[in-house]
Structure 1
Amino acid sequence: MSTRLEALPHRHVLTLPAMPSAVRTARETAERALDEWGISLRHPTVGPALLILSELVTNSVRHAAALSPQVTVIYAAGADCLAFAVHDRHPHQPSLNASVTDTGTGAGGLATVMELTLGLGGTAVVRADVDGKGKSIWITLPL
C-alpha cells in the first residue's frame, strides 16, 4: 500500500482527556467522520478498524495517562485507504513486531491490533515525537 497521508483528502483531528470515556468518543467520532466521508460503516474494513482504534486509545488511557493527560486521534481517508493514528506524550514505544509473537506477555491489545491490521493487508508503525517524549501509532488499511 503506497498511499501517502498527504494524498488523503479527508482528515480530522480529535484531542481528548486521557480518560476511559476517550475510547467511546474516539470511536463515535470515527463513525461520524466515515459517514460524512461517504465510507459505509458496513464496509468490511470498518468494523475491524474501529476495534483497532478502540484498542489503541485504551492503551494510551491505561498506560500513558500518568505522563500524558491528553490523547490525540488523527483520522484520514481516501477512495482506497483508511488511516488513523493515536498519539500520547509517554516516551515508551511498544514493539509492534513483538506483539504478534508474544501473545502471553500482556501485549494482548497490541497483538489484536497487529493481527487485525496485518489480516486486512494494512500497515502499522510507531513514530516517536521529535523530542522523544511521545509517540504516535499509525495504522493504514486498504478500503
Structure 2
Amino acid sequence: MRLSASLPFRSVLVCPTVPASVALARRTAEMIYVESWGINPGHQAFGPALLMLSELVTNTVRHTAALSPQVTVTYAAGPKTLAFGVHDRHPHLPDPARFAACAGGLRLIAELTAELCGSCTVQRDTDGEGKTIWISLPI
C-alpha cells in the first residue's frame, strides 16, 4: 500500500473480513480524523467520506472474504486532504472509471467522489493477488 508523502498523518487498522469490521472501520475513522488529527466533522466532505469508507469495507466483506481473511484500512490526511485506502487480498481489480455504471455502493462512491472533487484510484499489490482502493478528498 502506497501513500503520498504529502499526507503526513497516517494510521492503519487491520481487522477480520467480517460484517462487524464495517462499523469498526467507521468508528476508527471518526476517532482518528476528528480526535487525533483535528479534522472538522462538520466539513462537507466528512460525512460522505465515512459513507464511502463504509461502502468499500462492506464490499470487501461481501466479495473478498473467501480469499482475504483480513481487511486493512489506511487512514491518511494532510493540510488540505483527507484520504483512506481499503486493502484486500482478492485478485479482482475494479476499474474506478466504471464505478458510475455499477449499481449500489460503487456508483455512490463515483458520484460522491466527483461531487466533492476527489479522486478514486486502485493500486494492485506487487504480486497481483490483492489491491487497495484509495479515496482522496479535498478538505
Q: Which one-letter code corresponds to 1:20 in the other structure? A: P
Return the TM-score normalized by structure 2.
Answer: 0.94
Aligned to 2:52: 52
Gaps of 5+ in 1: none
> What percent of counterpart residues are identical?
56
Runs of 4+ in 1 over 6 A off after TM superposition: none
> How far apart are the structure 1 equivalents of 2:76 and 2:110?
19
Q: Deviations over 1:16-74 (max 9, x none)?
A: 00000010000000000011101011111100000000000000000000000000000
Return the TM-score normalized by structure 1.
Answer: 0.92
> How far apart are the structure 2 equivalents of 1:40 and 1:34?
8
Q: Deviations over 1:72-106 (max 9, x none)?
A: 00000011101110000000011221121x24xxx
How large is the Cα RMSD of the aligned pairs? 1.0
Q: Which one-letter code corresponds to 1:72 in the other structure? A: T
Aligned length: 136
> How far apart are the structure 2 equivalents of 1:32 and 1:96?
28
**1:123-138 map, 5 Å:** 123-138=119-134
Gaps of 5+ in 2: none
Aligned to 1:33: 32
Secondary structure of residue in 2 paired with 1:90: coil
> How far apart are the structure 2 equivalents of 1:20 and 1:115?
24
> How far apart are the structure 2 equivalents of 1:78 and 1:129?
24
